[in-house]
A = this chain, B = another copy of it.
Amino acid sequence: MSTQPIDSYTHEVRVRYAETDRMGVLHHSRLFVLLELARTEMLRRHGLTYRDMEDGGWFLVISKASCTWKAPARYDDVLLIETAITRVTHTRIEHTYRVIRKTDGGVVAEATTTLACVDREGNVQRIPDVLANLLS
């Protein structure tokens, strides 16, 4: 088990119109979609796709999430999602994120998520070797 960041990646993504709400900002629920995007793209950078993992019978389900919002992200803003793996166990992966507005460096949000590895029936199982090797 490690408590040091063992991987990091910054994902760039633009806020879509359909992701805004009546206040003109990224709806808070949609931030979690962007975090998911960042962590799956981080995997892809290392030659692993989450689709292949699922097709192989390993599913990563979210078991915990927390987020603090600092400032709104508006329509068409480009966001930088700094993503780091901050903790790994045999069955879980913790990511932390900092979401930044690209234009001015303003912090939009800071978040943490914990994923659990489960099989098709939802039973917890060990992270597959190919992923464990990447994370160690």
Which residues of A are interface residues toward B (Cβ below 8 A)? Answer: 16-18, 20-24, 27-33, 36-37, 40, 49-51, 54, 59, 61-69, 72, 75-76, 122
Contacts and interface: CB of A to CB of B under 8 A. Distances in A.
Contact of A24 (B22, B27, B28, B33): B22
A21 B23 contact: no
A75 B18 contact: no
27 contacts: A16-B37, A17-B36, A17-B37, A17-B40, A18-B27, A18-B36, A20-B21, A20-B22, A21-B21, A22-B75, A23-B59, A23-B61, A28-B32, A29-B29, A29-B30, A29-B32, A29-B33, A49-B76, A50-B76, A51-B75, A61-B72, A63-B68, A64-B66, A64-B68, A64-B69, A66-B66, A66-B67
Contacts of A75: 22, 51
Contacts of A30: 29
Number of chain copies forming the complex = 4
B28 A17 contact: no
A54 B75 CA distance: 11
A23 to B, nearest CB: 6
Contacts of A29: 18, 29-33, 36
Contacts of A23: 59, 61
